[in-house]
Each structure stands twice: as structure tokens, then as C-alpha cells.
Amino acid sequence: MIVLIILLALIALIFFVPYGVDAAYENGQARLCVRAGPVSIRLYPKKPKTEKQLEKERRKKEKKAAKAQAKKAEKEKKPADQGEPQAKDETIKVKKQRQLDLDTILALLEMGVRAIRRFFRSFTVNYFKLHCTMAGSDPYNTAMGYGYLCSAVEGLRGLSEDRITLQRRDIALDADFTSEKPIVDVRIIITLQLFKIVHLAAAFGVEYLIWTIKNRREKKAAAAEERE
């Protein structure tokens, strides 16, 4: 009983822990990490390897080279094969695939579009940061760029309120007419739970099953009318 409880707890932990990506460009440096709950693993830039790790890699390379050399020497000792083995005459049976009609293709495309929309709505933006100071050699271009940036951010805000779950955001926009180089700091943390993927797959399967049953009934009714 205890083992079953522990197993169920582990399954629940795997399915309900949020997995995601933490990407950032701050202070002129890019960073990419993958997250699993509170645990974060940095993918870029990679951490410098320690002397112990470098020594371990060197030993692995030496062992691999030694194995390859021994395999090559063993291969050279074997006598050459006398003639080539005759190929077996095997007939391959090709299974006839079912052809999809236009109605099925259109229905699958429609269901796929709805599934994709639900999939993107399942993501959670835990944190979004945008600190941008617009600057350039021409004050007019700086002002125009700042206006375009504000318009784009307002559009993103409207989109996020309708279709994206945004928990926390930090947006700061400015214009600097005394500098020639813009400053941009961006960071976004996106997560997704596995149970939502299972839910999406189940919803798509149920929707396809309902459509299949309905389509078969319609075809049977049409065939019955033709016979009459």
C-alpha cells in the first residue's frame, strides 16, 4: 500500500510539476535555461568544466580510441570471406493504405487548428521582462522608434490579456536622445504542465471520435435514402 501511494505521488509530481524555459538577454549577454519546478539547468552559456571533468573526458577518449584500435586489429586478423552470401528471396507484402477523402482532411485540419489554439493557451508566462531604452544618432528616428515600440507593447498587452496567462511582467520603455546605442534587456519564463498535454490529447481524441460516429451515421442515412 505504501509503495502504491509513493508511486501515485511520483506520477502526480511528474504530471503537475511545471516544465519550461527561461530565456534572457541582459547586459549584452544571452542566457538559456530549462526548468523543472524549482530546479533550473543552464544550457547556454555552458559552465566552465572543472579539472576533474576534463580528466574524465580525456580518459573516455583514450578508452574509446583503444577500443577502436583493438577492433580494427581484430578485423584485420579475420580471413576474408569466400564469396558473398546469397540473398534470400523474400516477397514483401505492401499493406494497402486507406485513402483520406476531402471531408476527412478538412475535418482533421479544423480539429488540428482548434487543438493548436488550446495548446498555446495552455502555456503560462510566469515572468516577462522588457526594459528598452530607444536611442540613435538621429533624434527623429529615436522618437519614431520609441513610438513604434510603445504601440507594439500595447498590442502585446491586449493579446496577452485575451489568449495568454501572464502572471508577472516588468515593462519599462524610455528614449535617450543623448546616446547613439539602444539598450535592451529581455527575459521570459514559460512553463507547461504535462497533464495539460494529456488533457489536450484526450480532448482531440474525443472530438475525433464524435466526428467519426456522426460521419458514419450520415453516410448510412445517405446510403439508405439512395436504396429507397
Q: How many CA atoms lie within 13 A of 203 on its CB side?
A: 15
What pLDDT is attached to residue 95?
A: 58
What pLDDT is attached to residue 39?
A: 87
| Three-class DSSP category at 86 | coil
- Is the confidence at residue 195, as pLDDT, over 70? yes
In the predicted model, what is the mean pLDDT of residues 144-169?
Answer: 80
Most confident stretch, 27-31, 66-70, 72-76, 109-113: 27-31
Taking the C-alpha atoms of residue 51 and residue 1, their distance in angstroms, rounded to an integer, is 47
> What residue ranges in 1-139 does DSSP mark as E strands?
18-26, 29-36, 39-44, 124-134
What pLDDT is attached to residue 33?
A: 94
What pLDDT is attached to residue 85?
A: 53
- Is the confidence at residue 159, as pLDDT, over 80? no
- Is the confidence at residue 94, as pLDDT, over 90? no
The single-letter code of the amino acid at 96 is: K
Q: Which of 10-14, 76-80, 201-205, 223-227 has the lowest mean pLDDT?
A: 76-80
172 touches 131 (CB < 8 A): yes
192 touches 20 (CB < 8 A): yes
Most confident stretch, 58-72, 75-89, 91-105: 58-72
- pLDDT band of residue 88 (cuts 50, 70, 90) is low
Cell of 146: 520609441
Cβ-based neighbour number of residue 134 at 10 Å: 23
Mean pLDDT, rounded, of the chain: 82
Cell of 208: 475525433
77 touches 71 (CB < 8 A): no
Strand 165-166 versus strand 39-44 pairing type: unpaired
- pLDDT band of residue 100 (cuts 50, 70, 90) is low
Most confident stretch, 116-125, 163-172, 202-211: 202-211
DSSP state of 28: T
| Triad 116, 122, 123: Cα angle to 5° | 105
In the predicted model, what is the mean pLDDT of residues 84-103?
Answer: 58
- Is the confidence at residue 24, as pLDDT, over 90? yes
In the predicted model, what is the mean pLDDT of residues 24-36?
Answer: 90
What pLDDT is attached to residue 162?
A: 61
Strand 183-193 versus strand 18-26 pairing type: antiparallel
Taking the C-alpha atoms of residue 199 and residue 16, their distance in angstroms, rounded to an integer, is 12
